[in-house]
Amino acid sequence: MDKNLGTIAAGDRRNRVTISDMADALGLTKSTVSRAMNGYSDISEATQLRVRRMADKLSYQPLSHAQAIKTGRTRSLGLVLKLSDHDAQRPFLAEFLAGLSAGAHAEGWTLTVAASDSEADMIQTFRTLLRDGKADGFILPRAICDDPRVRLLREADVPFVLFGRQDDDTDCVWFDILGEDAMRDAVAHLAALGHKRIGYINGGTQYAYATLRKAGFVQGMRDAGLGVDPDLMIEGAVTSIEGAQAARTLLDRKTPPTAIVCAVDFAALGAYQAATERGLVVGRDVSVMGYDGIPEGAHADPPLTTYAVDNRVAGERLSNILIRRIRGEDPDTLRETALARFVDRGSTGPAPTEQT
Amino acid sequence: MDKNLGTIAAGDRRNRVTISDMADALGLTKSTVSRAMNGYSDISEATQLRVRRMADKLSYQPLSHAQAIKTGRTRSLGLVLKLSDHDAQRPFLAEFLAGLSAGAHAEGWTLTVAASDSEADMIQTFRTLLRDGKADGFILPRAICDDPRVRLLREADVPFVLFGRQDDDTDCVWFDILGEDAMRDAVAHLAALGHKRIGYINGGTQYAYATLRKAGFVQGMRDAGLGVDPDLMIEGAVTSIEGAQAARTLLDRKTPPTAIVCAVDFAALGAYQAATERGLVVGRDVSVMGYDGIPEGAHADPPLTTYAVDNRVAGERLSNILIRRIRGEDPDTLRETALARFVDRGSTGPAPTEQT
DNA sequence: CGACTTGCCGAAACCGGTTTCGGATCTCAC
DNA sequence: GTGAGATCCGAAACCGGTTTCGGCAAGTCG
């Protein structure tokens, strides 16, 4: 057992075990230790093993910024937040960060976070972070169509991973939740309850997910043998205000829907309000389903039936994928998806009997 | 004008301007350039100026991890989030991070973020980050009484800055919002509306702010010439559930309060629910005031009157203070406070006329 | 049995900075 | 005119790693 386990204070920076200590302890040279640690094939298996064993006996880990000066890489992942997105990502951010951090930490990496106000600012932030070697690759949350970040990083040949999918897959890895499956399932759920006129409130059309979820909804309608009425589909609601507005439009149609599927929970909560304004009881007079699993949904009245996304796991997977990408693994093996979890709460019910 | 402004891509890591380039361009040696950049007094004023001018002509900035290998410092700030806090800090996190990042960026620093599940894990995270030189100092959000993080960092002699205040100020710098002033002001506001029986729902007692805000409330009551009734004060409500519970207790007293001041917005929203359950209309039958300025408050019915905290500014100030602390400025000049902004919305009204 | 690989490791240069040490020049008093 | 300081900068070592290059010993082949 190592006895200096207790004194891991600041002074630790001084009596940190270095590669020279390793070399001395093993009777080898620095270069051999280094190449052994990095798995070079010109070091014998036996020596590699001996070095590795000594490494975790002395709990030696190369200083990332010491390696960086030669290799340019610091074992850190970059995350650049865009402020205008914040309203939307607010509920997820904490868990998402926790996941990212956990995924990075598991491999001995760290997470560098920056924020930017404008898009131009964001691009500049990427460049600075890269130039100063503060990040070896980037996590890009909220994939959007024809993403400027993707363009930048691709042409700069810098590794990145998307949260969300992208049309052009070349050299592009991602993790995503199958929102389209959720939307399809939502329709099936409602159809099973007897609903025939089902409205759909989509999210921001600039985001990649919007197209997918909408397609999922349409597919669900087809699967259920229901007609798709363009008049019952509205785009671009990501806040509860926008959701309320959209729901008002839907509920004021001549033949209003008996159920509304929302691509975003916030919009669904807005739909609650629109329904209440019209004297409709959610879950009885009109069914509402959301997607995201925001905590506010659980406390709404009635609790919102939705598809919950595990943002912690998403973060973990994203970090892991990005690290493997940076290490050079084949992009084609680095795309993952997961399913949203159906949370059946009180906001859906049997279709009200017709009484035109 | 520099012509390679367009090619700031990844290759930039190669044609980055180094200290040797600087030395060549100036006809000096690396050591002179280095000492000039760092303001050593054995370099003449004239030379320092010449070097600095060339530095921003070539836009030279020393590579932080190259300096780190000798100095041990990487110009990066550490932030360790504790997961169990997340529910509470969720609404603020995005803006807080944006502020921290902006404050760091303004000085050419970066932000390293980590998350931890347990407290033991958190301590370990601090140590790892320190040992690997991933952070030169830490921002500690949510100051708590007898903070274990403070103990650790203090004995390790690592710089840190608190968001919130601490009893023991020695070598300890902080930024804080004067919550006690807000609470005092809230009482004055209500007293001016004729309220005499005012309830108080405090936040988590382990947090430093709870003591302060409570004291502010008490002071406000005294200032208004009102008696402080311990039966109308409840501790430890940080969620809307806990707030509802506390408000129920208050509203079910023999002589219930006509107004309730909450140390935390979430609790105030819970109070809304408790009031509604009892057929009371918030803003008419009972006044409610909160603190924090969460966005949900603005959309509540009626919109919550509260004291808004600017978490972006807080983050900015915290970064700035920490950086100056790391640079060695006198701690006594590095403590700042700011005021919460009163947001008068619809949740308060004149005290109902007595009708016992 | 000698030449040619091959496997394995050491020596030394290098990365981009910082820091110690010492030496050249200049000033000034005596 | 000279010795003592003071001023200012260069030379070189150093930090903790990586990488290139070359050499030695063992194995292979004709």
In this complex, do B81 and A94 lie within 8 Å of one another by their Cβ atoms?
A: yes
Q: Kindly report, residue by residue over A238-253, the tens digit of the pLDDT.
A: 999 999 999 999 999 9
**SS3 assignment, position B163:** strand
Position A166 scores a pLDDT of 86
Same domain flag for A127 and A248: no
Q: Kindly report, residue by residue over A143-186, the tens digit of the pLDDT.
A: 898 899 999 999 899 999 999 998 888 889 999 999 999 999 99
**Domain enclosing residue B154, as ranges:** 76-177+310-339
B91 Cβ under 8 Å from any chain A Cβ: yes
Q: Which residue from B65, B97, B127 is facing A65, i.e. has the nearest CB?
A: B65
The gap between A41 CA and D21 C1' (Å) is 16
Burial class (CB in 10 A: 0-12, 13-18, 19+), B27: exposed
Residue found under tokens 């094939």: A41
Same domain flag for A101 and A111: yes
Per-residue pLDDT of chain B (356 residues; tens, 9 = 90+): 332 333 333 344 557 899 999 999 999 999 999 999 999 999 999 999 999 999 999 999 999 999 999 999 999 999 999 887 766 677 788 899 999 999 999 999 999 999 998 888 999 999 999 989 999 999 999 899 889 999 999 989 999 999 999 888 888 999 999 999 999 999 999 999 999 999 999 999 999 999 999 999 999 999 999 999 999 999 999 999 999 999 999 999 999 999 999 999 999 999 999 999 999 999 999 999 999 999 889 888 899 999 999 999 999 999 999 999 999 999 999 999 999 999 999 999 999 986 54
CATH number at residue A14: 1.10.260.40
Same domain flag for A110 and A189: no
* B65: chain A residues, CB-CB within 8 Å: 64-66, 68-69, 74, 133
The gap between B48 CA and C28 C1' (Å) is 26
From CA A50, how far away is CA A36, in angstroms rounded?
9
Chain A's closest residue to B8, CA to CA, is: A127
Same domain flag for B172 and B318: yes
Please report which confidence band the pLDDT of residue A10 belongs to, taking 50, 70 and 90 as the band edges. very low
Domain boundary among B18, B39, B71: B71
Please report which confidence band the pLDDT of residue A117 belongs to, taking 50, 70 and 90 as the band edges. confident
Q: What is the DSSP string of A210-225?
A: HHHHHHHHHHHHHHTT
Q: Which residue is nearest to nucleotide D12 (CA to C1')?
A: B31
Q: What is the DSSP string of B212-243?
A: HHHHHHHHHHHHTT----GGGEE----SHHHH
Domain boundary among A43, A71, A99: A71
Same domain flag for A88 and A190: no
The backbone torsions φ and ψ at residue A14, rounded to the nearest 5 degrees and listed phi first, read -80, -55
**SS3 assignment, position B60:** coil
In this complex, do A110 and B105 lie within 8 Å of one another by their Cβ atoms?
A: no
* B2: chain A residues, CB-CB within 8 Å: none
Q: Is the CB of B195 under 7 A from strand C?
A: no
Percent of chain A having pLDDT more than 70? 94
Going by C-alpha positions, the residue among A255, A264, A263, A193 that lies closest to residue A229 is: A255
A91 Cβ under 8 Å from any chain B Cβ: yes
Position B87 scores a pLDDT of 67
Q: What is the mean pLDDT of chain A?
A: 91
A-facing residues of B in 190-209 (CB < 8 A) are none
Q: Is the dihedral of CA B341, B343, B347, B350 positive or negative?
A: positive
Same domain flag for B227 and B347: yes
Same domain flag for B193 and B292: yes
Going by C-alpha positions, the residue among B12, B108, B129, B123 that lies closest to residue B62 is: B108
Please report which confidence band the pLDDT of residue A83 belongs to, taking 50, 70 and 90 as the band edges. confident
In this complex, do B130 and A12 lie within 8 Å of one another by their Cβ atoms?
A: yes
Strand partners for A341: A308
Same domain flag for A235 and A187: yes
Position B168 scores a pLDDT of 80
From CA A312, how far away is CA A320, in angstroms rounded?
12
Going by C-alpha positions, the residue among A165, A238, A229, A255 that lies closest to residue A201 is: A238
Residue found under tokens 């760290």: A110
For residues A127-154, average pLDDT: 92
β-bridge pairing A110-116 and B110-116:
antiparallel
CB contact at 8 A, B113 and B136: no
Residue B97, token pair as written in the block: 């991070």
Strand partners for B341: B308
Chain center to CA of A148: 18
The domain tally of chain B equals 3
CB contact at 8 A, B282 and B347: yes
Please report which confidence band the pLDDT of residue A86 belongs to, taking 50, 70 and 90 as the band edges. low
Cα atoms in the 13 Å half-sphere on the side-chain side of A340: 27
Position A354 scores a pLDDT of 62
- Chain D positions within 7 A of any protein Cβ atom are 7-20, 22
CATH number at residue B282: 3.40.50.2300
* A87: chain B residues, CB-CB within 8 Å: 295
Position B301 scores a pLDDT of 87
The gap between B39 CA and C26 C1' (Å) is 23
For residues A80-84, average pLDDT: 87
Strand partners for A113: A79, B111
Same domain flag for B191 and B286: yes
Please report which confidence band the pLDDT of residue A11 belongs to, taking 50, 70 and 90 as the band edges. very low
Cα A147-A271-A304 angle, rounded to 5 deg: 90
Position A171 scores a pLDDT of 82
A-facing residues of B in 243-282 (CB < 8 A) are none
Position B86 scores a pLDDT of 61
Same domain flag for A162 and A283: no
Chain center to CA of B285: 35
Domain boundary among B71, B90, B110: B71
State the DSSP code for B157: T
Please report which confidence band the pLDDT of residue A137 belongs to, taking 50, 70 and 90 as the band edges. very high
Cα A325-A329-A334 angle, rounded to 5 deg: 65
Q: Which residue from A9, A95, A112 is facing B111, i.e. has the nearest CB?
A: A112
In angstroms, the first-to-last Cα distance of chain A is 81
Omega prior to B295 cis, within 30 of 0: no
In Å, how far is A113's CA from the nearest CA of chain B? 6
In terms of pLDDT, which residue wins out, B305 or A7? Answer: B305
- A213, A338, B12, B66, B70 from A72: Cα distances, Å: 40, 33, 11, 10, 17
Rounded to two decimals, the pTM is 0.92
Same domain flag for B347 and B327: no
Same domain flag for A120 and A259: no
